[in-house]
Structure 1
Amino acid sequence: MVINPGLAFSAPAAAGPATSGREPVLGGTLRQKAVWVDEAVCIGCRYCANVAANTFVVEPDWGRSRAIRQDGDSTERIQEAIDTCPVDCIHWVSYEQLPELEEQSRQQELLPLGLPTPARPRRTLPRAGGAVAP
C-alpha cells in the first residue's frame, strides 16, 4: 500500500467548536465577575502574584499589585490569591464597575511602597565585614 504524504496538506481540517471571541484564552467560560485590586489599600506583599501569576502582577513603579488579565487563572486560583491577601484589597466586582473603579484609581494619589519618604528617612546599615562605629 502506497501512502501519499500530500494528502495531509489537502485534507480539510476537522471543525472545532464554534467560538464567539468571548472565551478566555486559557479555556473555560467567561466569569460573571471581574477581579479588581484596590491599589490604595495594597501593601505590596506579592502573595497574590505568587499564587495567581497569570492574573496579578506587582506594578514596578508603585510596588502595588494589579490585575492584568481577567482570564489568566482559574476562578479557584484567583479566589485562593484573594484569600491570601493580608489587607483584603482584592475584590470580585461586576465587569460594568471596572471602568469607574479604574477612573477612581487614577485620581488617587499614591506614594511608591518601599521607598524612603521625608517622614521615613533611609536607614543605612554597616557594610558586612566592616568596622562598626562605637
Structure 2
Amino acid sequence: MTAQRRRVIVDRDVCVGSGWCVNLAAAAFEIDPVDGKARVQASAGGTPDELEEALDSCPVSAISFAGGTE
C-alpha cells in the first residue's frame, strides 16, 4: 500500500548489478545497458510486496525508499 507512495531510490555508487531487483520487481527496476547497474524505471511500478522484497534482497543494500512510512 504505502510502498507505492514512497519514492524508490537505487544508490548507483553502491549497486553491483546483481539483478535481483529486476527479477523481483521488473515493473520498477531495469539494468542500465551502459554500466550494468540497476536504475528505477518506474518508481510506482511493482507491488508493495515486490518492492519490499527487492529492497530486502539487494546484496549490497543499494535500494531504499524516500518519503512516506510503512
TM-score, normalised via structure 1 length: 0.47
Gapped regions of structure 2 (runs ≥ 5): none
CA deviation vs aligned residue, 1:25-75 (integer Å, no higher than 9, x gap): xxx7861x1100000000000000000000000000011000110121111
| Segments ≥4 residues shifted beyond 2 Å | none
Count of equivalent residues: 67
Gapped regions of structure 1 (runs ≥ 5): 1-27, 96-134
Distance 2:11 2:66 in 1: 11
Task: From 39, 44, 63, give the equivalent of 2:12.
Answer: 39
TM-score, normalised via structure 2 length: 0.87
Q: Sequence identity, in percent? A: 36
Distance 1:92 1:78 in 2: 9
Q: Which structure has the higher relative contact order (CA within 8 Å, separation 6+)? A: 2
Pairs within 5 Å for 1:81-96: 81-94=54-67
| Max Rg structure | 1
